[in-house]
């Protein structure tokens, strides 16, 4: 039994999950600042063979990324990369600072290897994140995506305004942009996935991307992140809208508002469920997306990934890349190294 599961996690469990998260980010920020700290992170990760892949024209050092919500303000992407993650999806950012929901708003469900969160995009606004985004190393050997969302107060009719403002601000610093229309904790946000808004929203953003590409001399891929709680009909509409607008990839999935059978005391908390119970939903959605989208549209699979076997299963089902968040909480900082070594050792 690894040290983390036996000793560290039982200790961390005594503290509020968000406090532990904030301390983890602070420790990573400290460690990534100098060569000795970065070496320490690489030692924790252990040796990993290079396993590069190209998706949306971007070169990823490996298939595994850290999902949105962990590095909300783009503070620790180099530290996460030193731990082995080939890409970091920072954010979700909103145009202005907002506090999110009252704490506590993250709950551990250890018996289920799951989390429930109802964060509601707390962040200090895009300006604070830009401070960090500007300081990211360039060129760099990892990929940084920026996840963008809408301010809680912005009416759905005006949501495009928020996404446009964020695109304008982060475009020079992001390798790709993730359009988050699927978090369950911003009231109404998921309606942007529906027929009424999605086509117009995507067309507006793709149009602005063309202008920004001209201005900055670089085309940044736009990836759309969807929820797991979609009917087959809704999913078909989303894929049609994404293909018609020219979105470069779909990320599936965000957390679920459904509640598969759960054992942990916090199972009735409201919010989005992530981790092991999300895996079957995420995998099923991935397979349906692959069918609907045809062979060419890249898919990024996220939801309940803990092991190399989980990753291999997603790749076999048609994912080009995978991401995790909850797996890091339960498996610890060695999770990426462990997965990448096992993937490299597995017969292709
Ligand atoms: C505490 C927490 C905060 C999250 N915040 C965001 C977010 O800001 N934007 C987003 O697109 N997804 C967010 N997510 C969802 C994750 O990116 C991911 O889609 C989901 O957790 C499923 O992956 P997992 O089972 O590996 O955790 C968050 C998840 C957690 C647990």
Please give the pLDDT value at position 59: 98
Report the nearest-CA residue for atom 18 of ligand 1: 254
Q: 183 an active-site residue? A: yes
Contact between 75 and 93 (Cβ < 8 Å): no
pLDDT over threshold 90, residue 239: yes
Q: What is the pLDDT of residue 102?
A: 96
Q: Where are the domains of the chain?
A: 3-342
> Ligand 1, atom 6: nearest CA belongs to which residue?
69
- pLDDT, tens only, 59-112: 999 999 999 999 999 999 999 999 999 999 999 999 999 999 999 999 999 999
Q: Which residue has the tokens 């993730």?
A: 178
Residue 332 Cα to ligand 1 middle (Å): 16
Listed in sequence order, the residues at least 6 apart from 299 whose beta carbon sits closer than 8 Å to its beta carbon are 249, 250, 251, 252, 286, 289, 290, 293, 318, 319, 320
- Please determine, looking at this structure, whether the domain spanning 3-342 carries the CATH number 3.20.20.70: yes
List the catalytic residue out of 56, 183, 282, 301: 183
Q: Return the number of other C-beta atoms located less than 10 Å from residue 175's C-beta.
A: 21
Please state, in angstroms and rounded to a whole number, the distance separating the CA atoms of residues 165 and 121. Answer: 17
Q: How far apart are CA 307 and CA 311, in angstroms?
A: 7
pLDDT band of residue 6 (cuts 50, 70, 90) is: confident
Phi first, then psi, for residue 215 (nearest 5°) are -65, -40
The tens digit of pLDDT for each residue in 325-338 reads 999 999 999 999 99
**Looking at residues 45-54, what average pLDDT do you find?**
96
Q: In three state form, how does the secondary structure of the chain look? A: CCHHHHHHHHHHCCCCHHHHHHHHHHHHHHHCCCHHHHHHHHHHHCCCCCCCEEECCEEECCCEEECCCCCCCCCCHHHHHHCCCCEEEEEEECCCCECCCCCCCEEEEHHHCEEEECCCCCECCHHHHHHHHCCCCCCCCCEEEEEECCCCCCCHHHHHHHHHHHHHHHHHHCCEEEEECCCCCCCCHHHHHCCCCHHHHHHHHHHHHHHHHHHHCCCCCEEEEECCCCCHHHHHHHHHHHHHHCCCEEEECCCECCCCCCCCHHHHCCCEEEEHHHHHHHHHHHHHHHHHHCCCCCEEEECCCCCHHHHHHHHHCCCCEEEECHHHHHHCCCHHHHHHHHHHHCCC
Residues 6+ away with beta carbon under 8 Å from 27: none
pLDDT at 348: 64
Q: How far apart are CA 339 and CA 309, in angstroms?
A: 8
Atom of ligand 1 nearest to the CA of 67: 17
Is 184 near ligand 1, meaning CB less than 6 Å away?
A: no
Please state the rounded mean pLDDT for residues 167-171: 98
pTM over 0.95: yes
User: How far is the centre of ligand 1, averaged over its atoms, from the C-alpha of 211 (Å)?
Assistant: 30
Assess contact for 163 and 150: CB atoms under 8 A.
yes
| Paired tokens of 263 | 């054992």
Q: How far is CA 162 from the centre of its chain?
A: 19
Instruction: Please tell me the distance between residue 253's alpha carbon and the centre of ligand 1 in angstroms.
Output: 9
In whole angstroms, what separates CA 4 from the centre of its chain? 23
């Amino acid at each position: 039994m690894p040290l983390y599961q036996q000793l560290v996690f039982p200790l961390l469990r005594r503290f509020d999950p968000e406090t532990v998260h904030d301390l983890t980010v602070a420790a990573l920020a400290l460690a990534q600042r100098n060569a000795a700290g970065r070496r320490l992170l690489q030692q924790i990760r252990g040796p990993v063979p290079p396993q590069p892949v190209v998706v949306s024209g971007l070169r990823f050092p490996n298939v595994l990324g850290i999902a949105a919500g962990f590095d909300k303000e783009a503070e620790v992407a180099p530290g996460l990369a030193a731990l082995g993650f080939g890409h970091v999806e920072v954010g979700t950012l909103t145009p202005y600072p907002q506090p999110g929901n009252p704490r506590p708003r993250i709950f551990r469900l250890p018996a289920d290897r799951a989390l429930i969160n109802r964060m509601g995009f707390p962040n200090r606004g895009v300006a604070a994140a830009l401070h960090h985004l500007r300081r990211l190393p360039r060129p760099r050997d990892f990929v940084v995506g920026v996840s963008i969302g809408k301010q809680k107060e912005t009416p759905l009719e005006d949501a495009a305004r928020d996404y446009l403002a964020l695109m304008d601000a982060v475009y020079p610093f992001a390798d790709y942009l993730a359009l988050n229309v699927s978090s369950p904790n911003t009231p109404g946000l998921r309606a942007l996935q529906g027929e009424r808004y999605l086509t117009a929203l995507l067309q507006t953003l793709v149009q602005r991307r063309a202008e920004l590409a001209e201005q900055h001399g670089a085309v940044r891929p736009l990836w759309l992140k969807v929820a797991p709680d979609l009917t087959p009909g809704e999913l078909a509409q989303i894929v049609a809208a994404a293909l018609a607008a020219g979105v470069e990839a779909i990320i599936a999935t965000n957390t679920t508002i459904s509640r598969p059978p759960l054992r942990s005391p916090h199972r009735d908390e409201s919010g989005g469920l992530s981790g092991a119970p999300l895996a079957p939903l995420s995998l099923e959605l991935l397979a349906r997306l692959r069918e609907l989208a045809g062979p060419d549209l890249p898919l990024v699979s996220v939801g309940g990934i803990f092991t190399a076997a989980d990753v291999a299963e997603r790749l076999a089902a048609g994912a080009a890349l995978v991401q995790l968040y909850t797996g890091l909480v339960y498996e610890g900082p060695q999770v990426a190294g462990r997965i990448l070594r096992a993937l490299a050792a597995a017969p292709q």
